[in-house]
Structure 1
Amino acid sequence: MDLTQLEMFNAVAETGSISAAAAKVHRVPSNLTTRIKQLEADLGVELFIRENQRLRLAPAGHSFLSYSKRILALVDEARMAVSGDEPQGTLPLGSLESTAAVRIPGLLAMFNQRFPKIQLSLATGPSGDQIDGVLDGRLSAAFVDGPILHPSLDGIAVYEEEMVIVAPADQDAITDANQVSGISIYAFRANCSYRRHFESWFHAHHSVPGKIHEMESYHGMLACVIAGAGIALMPRSMLESMPGSHQVSISPLPTDWRYLNTWLIWRRGAKTRQLEAFIGLLEQTS
């Protein structure tokens, strides 16, 4: 079974005549007759009831026609998605939670307005999850902490984030990890790049954090810090967007640790027209 056979079948079903269908699809009648018989042999059923020079759909033909039309419609949609004048189709994106909350809401709204035929979806989570999603094809692209050195990935740096330590309000300014050695920290799962950055800062100062409590959101981290239960690391832009940020002590990390770049990454050689449209808008607005 191939697309040409489906097109021929649809034409015969609509016209009820081999000669009329042949003219419609620009083929000779004998070719249509042969290809329709091959299709019936492949399916193991008769699709048409033959009456003199006319053909009308058999019960199996009626059932098959709906599927045939859907298949050809999907093929047309796929062609338009990759080669049409206006990009369309799906664009599954991934993002760090902080980037999704603070950096890209306006970009996403503008993208939806400018490219209404592209169905954009967004999933948030730690960098590790987003990188895995891009590598296994679940995501077309993702905003992650960079740089990314994986040989199968391409990307561009898009945002610079200032990383700050969030501590209870009565905590003095933190300039050295030994000041908070053994104190509980609140962070995302182990595959979170920000968590790894925080732990590396401790280790670089020959210090260790206390118990690491894994949280699902920055709002949960902030609530625990406000309650005096420990400290957390987060982008300043994220902290300042949340109610309660005035109830904590804020200490920027030292210069060598202070800034991290957020990258948009995609699988090398797999940049779709939808993704090209998104990157173009991102570059215009950055």
Structure 2
Amino acid sequence: MDLTQLEMFNAVAETGSISAAAAKVHRVPSNLTTRIKQLEADLGVDLFIRENQRLRLAPAGHSFLSYSKRILALVDEARMAVSGDEPHGFLMLGSLESTAAVRIPGILALFNQRFPKIQLSLATGPSGDQIDGVLDGRLSAAFVDGPVMHPSLEGISVYEEEMVIVAPAGHVMITDARQVSEASIYAFRANCSYRRHFESWFHSQQSAPGKIHEMESYHGMLACVIAGAGIALMPRSMLETMPGSHQVSISALPEEWRFLKTWLIWRRGAKTRQLDAFIGLLEQTP
């Protein structure tokens, strides 16, 4: 096994195609095919499931990908450390949609100015998706609802969010879950930590929400609430940025349910120089 094989493996994993991967790493397809087969023979497992002209990761390939990315990142970091160069390479961040929309745009812009050689990418989604992305190596780090108690992860608390119940205009102030028992709820998918928080609040008061309608954005949730179709839970900081926020009734959760912490998490022992640069900037920014 050598670094070239790992680079080839990563390229095939990302593109799902020998020809596309060959173009990406500037090799001929036949060479790539041979080197991937040698890597599989060396490891004693099939890394890919071959389907016609496409390749998709086998279970062993998914496991190996996170290690391959970490090895290449460490090599890149070692080169930078001995050469004295400013950080460069890739930083793949994940984030909750609300955090991406409200909390970090200025930091991302400043990071791009300070570290122009680092290629930064951002993916948004529920906490569950972001945690999975960090664990399997697709993401360098992610902003999630925390704290996250996982032996393979570490992180820092960065923001506090006030969670509010959003109801149609004119709705009485909601102080008890039984007031909205059986009400339709608009929320993200089941692996959204905010959705779980809302459901837990209902259950803590021996109540239950009505049908949960899964949405893809806060804007969609807000539109449904304005139309009188149900209620939603969202960070106040997010709500206040959206057109139409004045057209709803806003209720704060009870104190013990009101605030949630947002954490930046990364894989334990896998903090890269690029991530260190981002954390340093994050800690300097009010």
Classify the TM-score, shorter chain. 0.7 to 0.9
What does residue range 67-216 of structure 1 map to in structure 2 within 5 Å? 78=76, 80-81=79-80, 83=82, 84-216=84-216
Distance between the aligned counterparts of 2:280 and 2:150, measured in 1?
A: 23
Q: Which string of whole-angstrom CA distances, capped at 9 and with x for unpartnered residues, describes residues 100-143 of structure 1?
A: 00000000000000000000000000000000000000000000
Judged with a 3 Å threshold, the aligned counterparts in structure 2 of structure 1 residues 256 and 2 are, in CA distance, closer, same or farther, namely closer
Deviation at 1:81, TM superposition (A): 4.9
Larger-gyration structure (1/2): 1
Distance between the aligned counterparts of 1:124 and 1:205, measured in 2?
A: 32
TM-score (norm 2): 0.73
Q: Specify the SS of the correspondent of 2:198.
A: helix
Which sections of structure 1, spanning at least 5 residues, go unmatched?
A: 4-42, 44-73
1:218 and 2:195 correspond: no
- Code of the aligned partner of 1:203: H
**Cα RMSD (Å):** 2.0
Match of 1:71 in 2: none
Q: Which string of whole-angstrom CA distances, capped at 9 and with x for unpartnered residues, describes residues 62-91 of structure 1?
A: xxxxxxxxxxxx99x946456542000000
Distance between the aligned counterparts of 1:136 and 1:93, measured in 2?
A: 13
Q: Specify the SS of the correspondent of 1:143.
A: strand
Q: Specify the SS of the correspondent of 1:210.
A: coil
- Code of the aligned partner of 2:245: S
- Code of the aligned partner of 1:145: D
Match of 1:236 in 2: 236
Deviation at 1:2, TM superposition (A): 8.2
- Code of the aligned partner of 1:159: Y
Native 8 Å contact 1:82 1:272 kept in 2: no
What does residue range 3-22 of structure 1 map to in structure 2 within 5 Å? none
Q: Which string of whole-angstrom CA distances, capped at 9 and with x for unpartnered residues, describes residues 160-182 of structure 1?
A: 00000000002100000000000
Distance between the aligned counterparts of 2:81 and 2:261, measured in 1?
A: 31
Q: Which string of whole-angstrom CA distances, capped at 9 and with x for unpartnered residues, describes residues 12-43 of structure 1?
A: xxxxxxxxxxxxxxxxxxxxxxxxxxxxxxx9
Which sections of structure 2, spanning at least 5 residues, go unmatched?
A: 4-34, 36-71
